[in-house]
Amino acid sequence: MGSRKNCCSSINYDYSFKILLIGDSGVGKSSLLLSFISNCQHFPQNLSPTIGVDFKIKLLTTGGKRLKLTIWDTAGQERFGTLMSSYYRGTHGIILVYDVTRRETFTNLLKVWAKELELYSTNPDCVKILVGNKVDRDSERAVTVEEGMALAQKHNCLFLECSARTRENVQQLFKELTMKILDIPSLLEKGSTPVKNQILKQKQRLNSWQDGVSGTNCPIKAGSNWTRVFQSKDQIGNFTYFPSINFHKVSGGYGQIRVNNWNVFLVPFAKLEAEFDLLIGDWFVADCKEIRSLVKDSWGIPDVLLMNGNIYQIRVSNVGSVFSFNFRIQNHKMVLVETEGSYTNQITLDSLDVHVGHSYSVLVTANQDEADYYMVASPKLYDTIITNLKQAAQSDARIERSVREHSALMSILHRRPHSTSILLLGMNRWNLTARAAWPKRQVTFNVLNITLTQTFILHGSKAEINGRLRYVVNNVYYLTPDTALKLADHFRNGLPHILELRKPVRSVNNAATYGTSVVTGVHKGWLEIVFKNDHEVMDCWHLDGFGFYVARFGEGEWSPQSHNTYNLYDPVVCLTIQVYPDRWTAVCAFLDIPVMWNLRSQNLQLWYKGQEL
């Protein structure tokens, strides 16, 4: 032990944590530690029981900083109990391990180890995580996932199941424990906060350097490449990606990324037979260069709607540029369960409105007679009928007849007023009992008692500047600078002739002007954003880097009295939100990330012609 300590004493590190492994003998504490420390491919079998205590040191380089973990492996035999008491002192994190194939090791956590922890632990803020080991032997399981989660919740612990033998979730175990320790100020020594910040900045949502828009990145030159880091654990759900410049998106430059729950978290619906991704969007026959040249005047409307795949799909994303569409499946009901990483109260629908940039998950039960069924997408609020039909292969005559049968329904649906859609939105609320990306239930994150720090009222409208049609925010057309704003801010602390910080956020300029608008929010304050749509078409807004709570869809003029109508109990959290013509939408966002983010219209024409911040 002495030589091990001396070996590491000359190595610099930024912060040190003491971790303790406890639990019955034979549950795999030593195996978990060896699996975490070692890089060997063949895991040793039949490790000898630990005599007394042992410890190992792991140095981690994260976010450009060095962390030192001193991990103490304790004996599970009763005869070492008196020896163990001193090792609880000064502990930052404790891992309580049981064997999922031996029920007595689970019950002993409550009978023996929880009492010992309460008796000897000197740190009331010590982070605890309950770990079920040996999930590779699932056929021998004696303790269910639900039982483990219930015990963890009862004792305010984190929870994870893993396998030391296959290394499943082992790295995640120590990473989650370490990150949780960093979240508790009393566990951090003076000077440790910068370390925490550097570590957390690895998450994509904490760093706008990789945001992929003109304000934060230089363009990727032809023939070159660029790697985007995507931190998948921060948010579940389905996400779309696309190039943000030069209208490449209209030529099919998009795709989907699916992020599922950890397998130890229960989802708020029954196990699915299968999952499919459905990408639907409007499509122009012309290429992106021609469309880009047309947008300076008027690019008209898209020629068709495209839909990938050919049969049953449950994850639906609007990857288009203009149209909101109504999606439905012939003779089938859909149950809405998730939107953009938030589990919703489950609503049974005949059809679903999906706006530009939005993603939803629906459950479809194949409970009809065996046959071919249409999946239909038709645009909303446009005076034209462009409809996409997908079905299994059948004769041309049957397809033609089916299209005629649906044509009357389509002509009604595409002109259907948005009042029905707004009514459904009022029903679309958070599922408070579900868990998404984190062990805590969604009800843990609520906005009932927040204090609003700022209010932005953003009017999206069109204006004429120097004889040219532009789309503006509070009568300011966003002018993209030659130097990326993030780059300018980094090297010169924001060049005054590039960054314009005094553009209106609660009023509308008398005359439309050009400007590179960068508005300032209060760090760790609650920002209320009221989006007002002065267009005659549907608009959608997206805020990079943050999810926001959707508080209210309203009509007429917004006023401070509108706060009395907000839903702050179970508002759904979204990344993209629609704003209906001549109406407003209010959202609340917590600005805990002090960097520069893009706020824009998702309608590609409006975005391209100036409607962004």
Q: Based on the fold, state whether residues 369 and 474 are members of the same structural domain.
A: no
Looking at 427, 459, 475, the residue that finishes a domain is 427
Question: What percent of the residues of the chain are helix, what percent strand, and what percent coil, each to the nearest 5?
Answer: 25, 30, 45
Task: Answer for the pair 17, 178: CB distance below 8 angstroms, yes or no.
Answer: yes
Weakest mean pLDDT among 182-191, 266-275, 456-465: 182-191
Q: Based on the fold, state whether residues 242 and 361 are members of the same structural domain.
A: yes
Q: Based on the fold, state whether residues 303 and 174 are members of the same structural domain.
A: no
Amino acid identity, position 470: R
Weakest mean pLDDT among 248-262, 470-484, 567-581: 248-262
Which of 166-170, 186-190, 344-348, 383-387 shows the highest mean pLDDT? 166-170
Region 148-155: mean pLDDT is 86
Region 225-237: mean pLDDT is 67
Distance between CA atoms of 514 and 472, rounded to whole angstroms?
9
The residue segments making up the domain with residue 39 are: 2-199
Q: Using a pLDDT cut of 70, give the percent of the chain over it.
A: 66
What are 570-587's pLDDT values in tens digits? 888 888 888 888 899 999
Q: What pLDDT does residue 440 have?
A: 63
Query: Is residue 441's pLDDT more than 80?
Result: no
Confidence of residue 260 (pLDDT cuts 50, 70, 90): confident
Q: What pLDDT does residue 51 have?
A: 45
Region 105-129: mean pLDDT is 82
Q: What is the DSSP string of 498-565?
A: T-B----SSS--SS-EEE-B-----TT-EEEEEEEE-SSS-EEEEETT--EEEEEEEES---GGGGGG
Weakest mean pLDDT among 104-108, 114-118, 556-560: 114-118
Q: Is residue 255 part of a domain?
A: yes
Q: Is residue 227 part of a domain?
A: no
Region 271-290: mean pLDDT is 70
Q: Is residue 514 part of a domain?
A: yes
Domain count, the chain: 3
Looking at 399, 427, 455, the residue that finishes a domain is 427
Distance between CA atoms of 322 and 428, rounded to whole angstroms?
23
Region 487-494: mean pLDDT is 66
22 or 266, greater pLDDT? 22
Region 419-441: mean pLDDT is 61
- Torsion over CA: 540, 543, 548, 551 (sign): negative
Q: Based on the fold, state whether residues 414 and 268 are members of the same structural domain.
A: yes
Confidence of residue 98 (pLDDT cuts 50, 70, 90): very high
Q: Based on the fold, state whether residues 28 and 165 are members of the same structural domain.
A: yes
Region 296-316: mean pLDDT is 59
Please name the residues in contact with 308: beta carbons below 8 A apart, sequence gap of 6 or more: 277, 278, 279, 280
Q: What pLDDT does residue 530 have?
A: 92
Q: What pLDDT does residue 103 have?
A: 92
What are 162-176's pLDDT values in tens digits? 998 888 888 888 888
Q: What pLDDT does residue 604 have?
A: 81
The CATH code of the domain that includes 116 is 3.40.50.300
pLDDT averaged over every residue in the chain: 73
514 or 304, greater pLDDT? 514
Question: CA end-to-end span of the chain, whole Å?
Answer: 58
Q: What is the DSSP string of 2-30?
A: HHHHHHHHTS--SEEEEEEEE-STTSSHH
Query: Is residue 79's pLDDT more than 50?
Result: no
> Comparing C-alpha atoms, which of 21, 4, 9 is closest to residue 72?
21
Q: What pLDDT does residue 187 have?
A: 66
Strand partners, 240: 256
Tokens of 613: 């911040």
Q: Is residue 613 part of a domain?
A: no
Polymer length in residues for the chain: 613
Which of 77-81, 205-209, 549-553 shows the highest mean pLDDT? 549-553
Q: Is residue 521 part of a domain?
A: yes
Distance between CA atoms of 278 and 377, rounded to whole angstroms?
11
Q: What pLDDT does residue 298 have?
A: 64
Tokens of 35: 């699996």
Confidence of residue 3 (pLDDT cuts 50, 70, 90): very low
Query: Is residue 30's pLDDT more than 80?
Result: yes
Query: Is residue 229's pLDDT more than 70?
Result: no
Which of 45-49, 137-141, 441-445, 536-540 shows the highest mean pLDDT? 137-141
Query: Is residue 125's pLDDT more than 90?
Result: no
Q: What pLDDT does residue 104 have?
A: 92
532 or 495, greater pLDDT? 532
Q: Is residue 213 part of a domain?
A: no
Q: Based on the fold, state whether residues 466 and 592 are members of the same structural domain.
A: yes
Q: Based on the fold, state whether residues 107 and 241 are members of the same structural domain.
A: no
289 or 452, greater pLDDT? 452
Looking at 146, 176, 199, the residue that finishes a domain is 199
Please name the residues in contact with 107: beta carbons below 8 A apart, sequence gap of 6 or more: none
Region 461-475: mean pLDDT is 87
Weakest mean pLDDT among 314-318, 390-394, 439-443, 447-451: 390-394
234 or 587, greater pLDDT? 587
Q: Is residue 441 part of a domain?
A: no
**Three-state DSSP class for 603?**
coil
Q: Based on the fold, state whether residues 479 and 520 are members of the same structural domain.
A: yes
Determine the angle formed by the axes of helices 29-37 and 170-182, rounding to 10 degrees: 90
Q: Using a pLDDT cut of 90, give the percent of the chain over it.
A: 5
Query: Is residue 180's pLDDT more than 50?
Result: yes
Region 407-420: mean pLDDT is 42
Query: Is residue 270's pLDDT more than 70?
Result: no
Query: Is residue 394's pLDDT more than 50?
Result: no
Which of 128-142, 187-201, 368-382, 585-599 shows the highest mean pLDDT? 128-142
Q: Based on the fold, state whether residues 486 and 415 are members of the same structural domain.
A: no
Strands 304-307 vs 315-318: parallel, antiparallel or unpaired: unpaired
Confidence of residue 207 (pLDDT cuts 50, 70, 90): low
Buried b (16+ CB within 10 A) or exposed e, 190-207: eebeebbeebbbebbbbb
The CATH code of the domain that includes 346 is 2.60.40.420
pTM (2 d.p.) = 0.52
Q: Is residue 593 part of a domain?
A: yes
Query: Is residue 101's pLDDT more than 90?
Result: yes
Region 194-208: mean pLDDT is 46
Region 197-212: mean pLDDT is 51
Q: What pLDDT does residue 418 have?
A: 52
Q: Based on the fold, state whether residues 241 and 372 are members of the same structural domain.
A: yes
Instruction: Kindly give the residue spans of alpha helices, DSSP state H, lying in 428-495.
Output: 485-492
Region 264-281: mean pLDDT is 68
Confidence of residue 487 (pLDDT cuts 50, 70, 90): confident
Q: Based on the fold, state whether residues 453 and 531 are members of the same structural domain.
A: yes
Region 337-363: mean pLDDT is 81
Determine the angle formed by the axes of helices 193-200 and 170-182, rounding to 10 degrees: 130
Weakest mean pLDDT among 106-120, 185-199, 246-260, 351-365: 185-199
Q: Based on the fold, state whether residues 250 and 160 are members of the same structural domain.
A: no
Query: Is residue 613's pLDDT more than 60?
Result: yes
H/E element holding 33? helix 29-37
